[in-house]
Amino acid sequence: MEFNNIDFDTYFKNYPDENGFFGKYGGVYISPELKKAMEEIT
């Protein structure tokens, strides 16, 4: 699937990167209280 010149079939294989960022300007913040639950989901 492609939208705005982004190929989502490969996008989600490459992101988030090892630091949890989605490209140059994207990122994610998870509070410490939710981190363990999010790791279980991942």
- State residue 35's pLDDT score: 85
pLDDT digits (tens, 9 = 90+) for 1-42: 666 777 777 777 777 778 777 777 666 667 888 888 888 888
CA atoms within 13 A on the CB side of 24: 0
- State residue 1's pLDDT score: 61
How far is it, in rounded angstroms, from Cα 17 to Cα 27?
10
- State residue 39's pLDDT score: 86
Find out whether 22 and 15 touch, Cβ atoms under 8 Å.
Answer: yes
How far is it, in rounded angstroms, from Cα 20 to Cα 38?
12
- State residue 2's pLDDT score: 62
- State residue 38's pLDDT score: 84
